[in-house]
Structures are given as C-alpha cells and as structure tokens.
Amino acid sequence: MDAVYKVIGLATPTNYHKKFLLALPPGQFDINVPQSVKKEVFHVAEVFLDRTTGNAEHFVRKVGKNDSYIYNHEIR
C-alpha cells in the first residue's frame, strides 16, 4: 500500500488501528480490560442453509446488540 501512495504523491499513513474479537462461552461477558480500552458486547449467529444446487454454501449471519440486529445472506 505504501508503494501506491508514493507513486501518486501522497504521504504514507502512520496511524494504524487494530480491532480484536474476543470469544467467550455464553454468559461470561466480564473481561478485565483497562479503562482506556473500549469494550462492546455483541452477538453473532450463523445459520447454514441446505444446499439446493451445486457446491455453493448459503448461510445467514445475524450480528447485533441491544435487540437491534443486521442480517446478511451470503453465498460462497
């Protein structure tokens, strides 16, 4: 990526952000983290659908928190 920025004459970015996903057994949401680290708890559920034709996998993913969810249908 740095090479592309140099070719078009832009400065290379110096800030990097990292996100981590911690998976715990159901019901165990207490993680000791420093106060400066933002902690959010959300739920992810994947339901695989039966294959009707070919080798494609169909599944529905549900992601959300506080009774607000987003659903995605994905085919691989």
What is the residue extent of each domain of the chain? 2-75
CB-based contact 66:42 (threshold 8 Å): no
Model pTM greater than 0.95? no
pLDDT tens digits for range 1-20:
677 777 787 777 666 666 66
Q: Quick one: which of 25, 34, 12 has its CA closest to 3?
A: 12
Torsion 33-35-36-37 (CA) sign: positive
pLDDT tens digits for range 9-60:
777 766 666 666 666 776 666 667 788 877 777 888 888 888 766 788 888 9
pLDDT of residue 68: 92
